[in-house]
A and B are shown apart, each in its own frame.
Chain A
Amino acid sequence: MGWRLVKRDTPLPGGQVRAFAVGLLLALVLGSILLLAAGHNPLSTYQRMLDASFGSLREISTTLDRAVPLGLAGLAVAVAGSMGLWNIGAEGQIIAGAIAAAWVARLAPDLNGFSLITLMLLASVVGGALLALGPALARAQLGVSEIITTLMLNEVAIRIVRYLVNGPWKDPLSFGFPAAPELPDQAALPDLYQRSNIGLLIAAVVIAVFGWLAARSRWGYELRLAGSSERAAQYVGISLKSKVLTVLVLSGAFAGLAGGILLTGSSDRLVEGVGGGFGYAGIIVAALALMRPSGVAAVAVAFGAVQVGGLAIETQGVPAAIADILQGLILFGALTAAVFGNYRLVRGSADADTTETADPVDESAGTESIGTDLPGEIAGGPA
């Protein structure tokens, strides 16, 4: 006797939204236990979080500004994920994008604002793509796991930026603080409203266009087909090698753009912490969007709000750890909810017949790959 998960014939409709809502609810309930234990009033804490993220236009603009790198990094992970690939290297690609953009500003500091920013953002796209190129080639040509290579390149990118801001690019006027010199004034992205800048529009357009292409184009269809079954994709003559290559490089390019926007929008100089953890948060955003590029924008805004709210309650004396735990709980709850979109919980003994039915099938099912299967599983929700 006991509980068992049984796969639904058809996933629950509206899984994506429902997953996030249920996850949020679960997190708030569990979080209030934590907050009570720490001696804080959960309701006023949550009220504070809400105010800080959506309280007024100014707060909303802060949340949206935060959502820009989250959304682009999420798009990077989701594009790869819709084909069953894991780009864990968005963090490094963000850094590479920022380095490339900063380099352009060093080379041509006297260009006018429009040209300089355009070149910097283009450079950031190339920078992110270049960092992803190695893992893409290794995966496409040799089948080397992109999970490992992209993850390890994060460390490489962090070392490079550390070397630059401590060495050749170090600002002599920074009083020993490891940072590159200030960017030229005209290299700052124009403001849009309060805390948001033009980067919000750029990210929104990029996410909308690629979200739409992934859902509606031949290219997107081929990605989903290859993500569902590589052999089925081969069967209709899709070249997996070139798909893997282009998708991973494109994924790196999106993350690189996030780096460029972070540098030109939110920062006045290149520093070691330019990545800000957005690359890793992007994995969470993509997972919550069920690896669907069209879903990352909404998730990024919601996740941005949680982050902004989390920062706000820290100033009220709530430990930073609890704010982090709340974020973790939301992810955990939403992913659990996503599972129940595809599975039902039933009570009953695993009676003899049902277990044995599974047995003869077992042997063939066991040969499926595990490593690359997960994004697809997550993406198995309603279309």
Chain B
Amino acid sequence: MHIPDGFIDPQTSAIFAGISAVGVAAALKGARSQLDEKTAPLAGLTAVFIFAVQMLNFPVAAGTSGHLLGAVLATVLVGPWAATLALTVVLLMQAFLFADGGLTALGLSVFNMSILAVWAGYAIFLLVRKILPKNKASVSAAAFVGALLSVPIAAAGFTLQYAMGATATFSTSTVLSAMVGTHVLIGIGEAIITGLTVSAVLASRSDLVYGWKNNKQKLEIRSAS
């Protein structure tokens, strides 16, 4: 869902560049209090892994492919603030090194994937985790559902940007149904990859997993910082 230059007009692109800049600045601040020396390397590895897996387009329907977005994967592993930063690093690398995603459209893409998909996915993850028993399988299941929905949500974010500033004149409702329909399918792949990866990390290093720790340790006294 890397938006090329030209789809969305410069005005709307500028608005979203501003929103994204504020969001990323807030994430820098938030991650500072959320990460420590133990979890910072996992945030780095998460960005690396998402970059790698984003190269692996899988077929979804006739003549269409999709790849991992990684928003919920990152959120569950390292928390939403660091997830926003990890996704943003990946998008910057892709746009500047690999010419994937337009440079003037960067704010649009960062908004949809690093901010909207992360925070909406995180909210869904928390909601699902709350109604399930407190065990590792529930964390994986909640990550699965959050990932599944995060992709069509990001697609809806693009549609909002299209409605605000498309350079083309096709109706927004046509774009909305096509975008959400296609990305529900991609969301299934997203959910499978996210569920499997979260399960693997939970099995090997559950002590590092944000979405598991902050469930288990709710009653622990937090150190003042």
A binds B: no
Interface residues of B (CB under 8 A from A): none
Interface residues of A (CB under 8 A from B): none
